[in-house]
Copies of this chain bind each other. A is one copy, B any other.
Amino acid sequence: MNNTICEMFGIEVPIFGFSHCRNVVAEITRAGGLGALGTAYYTPEQLEMELNWIDERVGGKPYGVNLLLPQKFETVGQEKLDFDKLPEEHVRFVRELLDAGGVPRLPESERESLLREALDQLHMTPEHAGELLDVVLRHPNVKLVVSALGSPPRHILDRLHEHGIKVGAMTGKVQHALKHKANGLDLVIAQGTEAAGHTGVVSSMVLWPEVVDAVAPMPVLAAGGIGRGRQMAAAFALGAKGIWCGSIWLGTRESDLPDEMKELLWAANAEDAVQTRSRTGKPGRMLRSKFTEAWVQPGAPQPLPMPWQSVLSTEARLRFDRAVAKDFMTCPVGQIVGTMRHETSVRQVIYDILAEFGETLVDMAELSDEVAE
């Protein structure tokens, strides 16, 4: 294919893939799409290592990174995140929930350091974001930077553009997409509410064409609810120039999710990808588990505001992940989880999407002839 987006990045197929896992990112790019690495929890040293690893595998092909580049650091970085500052009621609720579920506590000898390490990853400052950016700019195969927290500040946008990097932003609202356009970004990723993680409330079917019309001729990537070729065809019918997928890679062999987590995903239906405030305090879509369910039972405490629910859920996650407690384990995933049924590979996912996309276009062409008659 050779559309606006393929030309913009010199890629073969307009399939973008987001992952926290470098193997997935590299493999998407190698298959002719463009992989984008989620970098939220990296130190600059770790990020340098990850990007070097990808560079070695993509043979000069382009890839991207997602950075947290907010205009302001209001909710993060102001106050030291500490487990001791959590309300006693909430700490007890989580502890008793996991105790009752037979999930072992963290060993006392390791608890402090495990928590500290996890909390340090949550601590985001402008300095830290700047250091990550410096790492990115030293890697010339990075051709796309995506912000998940609004348009990046002007000086950062300029630096990225000077390095020949295109800049995009996730958006769940038309008004935000218009801001991104006004701020000089190169593309927006319109993400429907059916996607994984923090999203807006508007569905892809409604959001995509609204955003496409609002920011035209700026290209729009469609995100949320795409895991197969029919959905890619729908995205193009709705005016998108490419697709942005996240959840669909979670079940591939390149994904570094634990096997038990993958098995939970393969067994899940679309309605098991629930909106929950249990992890960060803000509604985000994740796989339903005893942990997400506990917070919507009568008598459960209200989840804490950001970033404190993340601090609170940290120990719980460490506990159920280390114990491989399948009843409690969860991860962010979108509603297309219902179409993931067994292990596959990144390349197979892309081939399957493209094959069904091609078939659907043929069907649509026949329909077009019928309508014209």
Please list the residues of chain A having a beta carbon within 8 angstroms of any beta carbon in chain B.
1-3, 173-174, 192-194, 200-207, 209-210, 224-226, 228, 230-231, 233-239, 269-271, 274, 334-336, 338-339, 357-358, 360-365, 367-368, 370-372
Contact = CB atoms under 8 A, between A and B. Distances in A.
Contacts of A201: 271, 274
A365 B2 CA distance: 15
B365 A368 contact: yes
Nearest to A270: B202
Contacts of A174: 269-270, 338
A-B pairs with lowest CB-CB distance, top 10: A205-B225, A361-B368, A234-B234, A194-B203, A233-B237, A206-B335, A203-B203, A234-B237, A202-B270, A204-B205
Contacts of A367: 1, 3, 236, 361
13 contacts: A174-B269, A194-B202, A200-B271, A201-B271, A201-B274, A203-B204, A205-B226, A206-B336, A234-B238, A236-B367, A237-B237, A357-B371, A361-B367
Contacts of A234: 205, 233-235, 237-238
Contacts of A230: 209, 237-239
B269 A338 contact: no
Contacts of A173: 271
A135 to B, nearest CB: 35
Contact of A338 (B192, B206, B231, B334): B206
A48 B269 CA distance: 43
